[in-house]
Amino acid sequence: MNKNGNDLSDTWSPGIEYILEEIRLNSITISEHHKEKYYYSKGYLKYFRIPTILFSAMNSVFSVGLQPYCPQPIISLICCIISLVCGVISSVELFLSIQSTMENELIASKDFYLLSVDIFKILSLERATRMINGKTYLDETYQTYCKLIENSNIVNAEMKNMIEPSRHFSLSPKLISTAKEESGVVEMSSTIINKSIIQEVEDKKEEEKEEEKEEDEVKPEDINATIEKENIIIQELEENNRQVVQLAIEEEKETMSVSEEEETHSKPKRKYVKRKN
């Protein structure tokens, strides 16, 4: 309700909210882009300012401190060369306009961020509590967005544009309704279209989640089969160990029997030798 007692919730529609949301998202991306450009320009500026400061200090020191050590023509030549270098550095900085670019990037980043915050505040409220006409707010927001784009520097072409017409052609409620009117189909309201689109997206997400759960979950039959395979492998290993132990025992018995036979054969020979002696 406004001051005159009119209900302003009727002035809002899903199409208006959709466009405002896309402007908000685009404002956030542009704000981040200008913020990165600001820090880049700030870091790039030090390569011009620091040498200028150092050469200016050297020029002031050499013009006075070198008089006892060097003749005046050499001192004048050195100071002239240093002044020339400082002038070239300052001229290159002015030509690149680094300082002004840095200031413009900072202002643009703040303005786009404030615009996105304002849109987020309005869209977060319910329609009955917004206390503003939807159409007028959309027009004002779009005008401020266009002015910010005109005043700001050129953005990178690779940056995503959230309000590009070709990107959301199939999702525009107005275009869908006009196409259905031309084809003779009964016109659907924009709210139903948005709900159907949201429902399709949610259904796809649920299907993907169910597929992931099915892939992650393991069936009990597979678990039982793996346990049986492991038990069979363990039994085979135990049987192999038993066979190895039995073979080792048999070999020990054979070696013991062979050693006993050798001892029995060797003892009488010793007795026979003693008798001969």
pLDDT single digits (tens) 31-83: 999 999 999 988 888 899 999 999 999 888 888 887 788 888 888 898 899 99
Among 141, 164, 187, which residue terminates a domain? Answer: 164
With respect to residue 3, please indicate whether it lies within any of the assigned structural domains.
no
Which residue bears the tokens 């959301």? 168
pLDDT above 90 coverage of the chain, percent: 24
pLDDT at 118 over 90: yes
pLDDT band (50, 70, 90) for residue 166: very low
Task: Tell me, yes or no, whether 243 and 258 share the same domain.
Answer: yes
DSSP letters, 85-142, are: HHHHHHHHHHHHTHHHHHHHHHHHHHHHHHHHHHHHHHHHS-GGG--S-HHHHHHHHH
Residue 1 maps to a domain: no
Please report whether residue 144 resides in a domain.
yes
First to last CA, the chain: 140
Domain annotation covers residue 2: no
In a domain, 20, yes or no: yes
List pLDDT tens digits, range 168-215. Answer: 444 445 444 544 444 443 334 444 444 555 666 677 767 777 776 665
Kindly give, in sequence order, each residue whose CB lies less than 8 Å from that of residue 14, ignoring residues fewer than 6 positions away: 173, 190, 191, 193, 194
Query: Is there a single domain that holds both residue 180 and residue 75?
Result: no
Average pLDDT over every residue of 103-110: 91
**123 and 4 Cβ atoms separated by less than 8 Å:** no
Q: State the pLDDT at residue 190.
A: 44
Residues 55 and 177 in one domain: no
Does 185 map to a domain? yes
Show the domain range for 241.
219-277
| Position with higher pLDDT, 229 vs 264 | 229
| pLDDT for res 217 | 57
Q: Say whether both 142 and 196 belong to one domain.
A: no
Domain count, the chain: 3
Both 75 and 122 in one domain: the answer is yes
The reported pTM is 0.53
Q: Does one domain contain both 147 and 211?
A: no
Given a cut of 60, whether residue 165 has pLDDT beyond it is no
| CA-only gyration radius of the chain, Å | 45
Residue 262 covered by a domain: yes
State which of 181, 197, 217 marks the end of a domain. 217
Burial class (CB in 10 A: 0-12, 13-18, 19+), 23: buried
Confidence at residue 25, expressed as pLDDT on a 0 to 100 scale:
92
DSSP letter string over 186-209? Answer: PPPPHHHHHHHHHHHHHHHHHHHH
Residues 37 and 103: their CA atoms lie apart, in Å, by: 10
Same domain, yes or no: 183 and 152 = no
Q: Which residue has the tokens 């404002």?
A: 27
pLDDT number for residue 261: 65
Token digits of residue 271:
């007795």
The count of other CB atoms within 10 Å of the CB of residue 206 is 10
Q: Tell whether 152 and 267 lie within a shared domain.
A: no
Q: Final residue of a domain: which of 143, 164, 185?
A: 164
Query: 198 and 149: one domain?
Result: no
For residue 216, give the H/E element and its range: helix 190-216
